[in-house]
Amino acid sequence: MIQVTELGYVGLGVKDLAEWKRFAAEIVGLEVADEGEAGRAYLRMDYWHHRILLDEDGADDLNVLGFRVAGAEDFHGMAEQLSDAGVAVEIAAPAKADDRRVLELMTLNDASGYPIEIFHGPQVQADQPFHPGRRMHSRFKTGAGGLGHLIQRQTVGFEKTYAFYKLLGLRGGIEYRVPIPGAPRPLELMFLHCNERDHTVAFGMPGEKRIDHLMLEVDDLDDVGLAYEVVRKAGVPVAIAPGRHANDHMYSFYFMNPSGWQIEIGWGARPASQQSEYYQRDTYGHERAAPPAPKPRAVQAAG
Ligand SMILES: [Fe+2]
């Protein structure tokens, strides 16, 4: 069976590209690479040409996940593996692969109908070391674990969702059963991995957007502390306070991005576990911010 090796890139649709570029550089510390294309910017985290594509299309949501396979042989084998399982796969024209800065690209939809891309051969700019958009103590942690992880929406249930992602070579299962006061069933979250990272994609968080959050890992705890201070000083809303996750052991916090979903900055995760277990809550911390209180009428009227 052929397996994807990492989440190589994500494509985000945004309403305000200028604001996103500022946020990415000054708040998150990503490197903004502008190739002079209208309505498009690239965000770098390492030697890759980009890890995040920003398209000013108004979506304010996740457009596409880009999963990597090892090389040409696995690429064509994966297309066959998916077609044999009844998944409609299209090998993209060379111009589309060029647009993604990869050697070859295929496009398909996941079980919920959300766009996925599978590629091999990303452009790696060995001559252009990552240059953070603001000061950092150390660097983003990518490597064999890919760019990070995310929680995304599914609309067809865990079983069909898992059946699809298993075809790509991801494995995993339920890792949280969170009791919800007054609800007959706990909130279940499903986490899937394809490499040493505990999870690459996860499902189950309620929400209107395809994406709940994107986690970017740093290799120095001080970069979580610094990011927290930068976020607070800039008045960016913190969505989830610092804490440690029970499943991947990540020490992290979450804040809102200009598209109204969350970025998580984390450190200290353990490698993916090969045996299932579940948790009812995190190790400590991670309190959710209360929704903002409604403003008094007089203040509202004043603007
Ligand atoms: Fe996360």
CA of 269 to the centre of ligand 1 (A): 11
For residue 303 the two structure tokens come to 């603007």
* Each residue's pLDDT expressed in tens, for the chain with a length of 303 residues: 999 999 999 999 999 999 999 999 999 999 999 999 999 999 999 999 999 999 999 999 999 999 999 999 999 999 999 999 999 999 999 999 999 999 999 999 999 999 999 999 999 999 999 999 999 999 999 999 999 999 999 999 999 999 999 999 999 999 999 999 999 999 999 999 999 999 999 999 999 999 999 999 999 999 999 999 999 999 999 999 999 999 999 999 999 999 999 999 999 999 998 899 999 999 999 999 876 666 655 544 444
Distance CA 111, CA 163 (A): 8
| DSSP type of residue 86 | T
Distance CA 239, CA 235 (A): 12
pLDDT tens, residue by residue, 281-297? 999 999 998 766 666 55
Equal fold, 6-122 vs 143-285: yes
Q: What is the DSSP string of 228-256?
A: HHHHHHHTPPEEEEEEE-TTT--EEEEEE
Distance CA 218, CA 140 (A): 4
Nearest to 47 by CA among 133, 136, 105, 131: 131
CA of 120 to the centre of ligand 1 (A): 26
Distance CA 275, CA 277 (A): 7
Distance CA 153, CA 169 (A): 19
Q: How many Cβ atoms from other residues are within 10 Å of residue 90's Cβ?
A: 11
CA of 13 to the centre of ligand 1 (A): 20
pLDDT tens, residue by residue, 88-112? 999 999 999 999 999 999 999 999 9
* Identity of residue 270: R
CA of 36 to the centre of ligand 1 (A): 32
CA of 92 to the centre of ligand 1 (A): 31
Domain ranges in the chain? 6-122, 143-285
CA of 76 to the centre of ligand 1 (A): 31
Q: What is the pLDDT of residue 300?
A: 44
CATH of region 6-122, choose from 3.40.50.970, 3.10.180.10, 3.30.360.10, 3.40.190.10: 3.10.180.10
Superfamily of domain 143-285: 2,3-Dihydroxybiphenyl 1,2-Dioxygenase, domain 1 (3.10.180.10)
Q: Mark the residues whose beta carbon lies below 5 A from ion ligand 1.
A: 215, 264
Farthest-apart Cα atoms in the chain, separation: 66
Strand 284-285 and strand 251-256: the pairing is unpaired
Nearest to 176 by CA among 149, 197, 202, 200: 202
Residue with token string 């690459």? 200
In the chain, what are the helix, strand and coil shares in percent, each to the nearest 5?
20, 35, 45
